[in-house]
Structure 1
Amino acid sequence: MTGMIDARLAELGVVLPDAPAPAANYVPFVQVGDLVFVSGQISQGPDGLIKGKLGADMDVAAGAEAAKRCAMSLLAQARAACGGDLDRITRVVKLTGFVNSTADFTDQPKVINGCSDFLVEVLGDAGRHSRSAVSAAALPLGVAVEIEAIFQVK
């Protein structure tokens, strides 16, 4: 039987990727009580890493799409943490978004909106969250965006 969140993803035509394996010496998520802390997920799509620097070779719309792909990976990790049942998510508590951008680029919040908007579209009010959106001079592997999340689960 498909859960409500899986049904919503299907309605949107979204297939989540498999939960990405860690790229270094860390775990993809840690659960403490009813909170699941998901490690930073980098921007990657079906064709590989989404690389670029906002303000140089990537515009806000492309950055927001990269952030949406991070959201999909965050949900994939949350699914793994919840034993495959996304309906255990009761709330997205916090996002921290890092944007690979030039020194004069100031639209980091608009880029991270790609993640925030997607989570609200999928989870409704449970997807509303606190957030930080910050610039980074560089990100791992040259990706455009990296986002970490805290989920509350039941």
Structure 2
Amino acid sequence: MMTYILIAVIALIGFALYKGSTLQTIEIVTSTTINGDKNDVFNMVKSLKKFPKWSPFLVQDPSQKYEFKGTDGTVGSQFHWVGNGGKDVGYQEITKIEEGTFIGKKCDIQKPFVAKPTFEYHFSENANGITVKETFKLQSGLIDGVFLWIFGAKAEMIKTNQQGLDLLKKAVEQI
């Protein structure tokens, strides 16, 4: 009997490590098309002071505190946050701007876990409006990947990223 339990435990650990290894690199691509002026869309994403208008994290935690550092809308400007009673802490920073077509951002999350994801925003015009494609990338270690799998974090990340783009669409279309 003890042998079967040991085999089951080893199999479970092996499966968890396998699933965790599949989440060591996460890339999530979401998009939305916005009926609005390309400059308005681009500037809404570029301005960290406008981020609260479309932040899914503020919807999830309206008591979140935040502050800005640097010159808004420029490389190096930062949006710092503390949420959930101090349990969520980090900042995002603009790393690259190609006027009208691309914005790159990096995040430095200190709580509830340590992570350094990146966001890339690509902007293109089409017959239906302005399409914003967001690419989220996260690298993690094997054990972090196991926890991401256990807690279903990737599905939550997909949902949150799409919620942010939906809020962006709403914010721009109300201008």
Structure-1-length-normalised TM-score? 0.33
Q: Which has the higher contact order (CA 8 A, sep 6+)?
A: 1
Q: Relative to total residues, which structure has the larger strand share, 1 or 2?
A: 2
Structure-2-length-normalised TM-score? 0.30
Larger Rg: 2
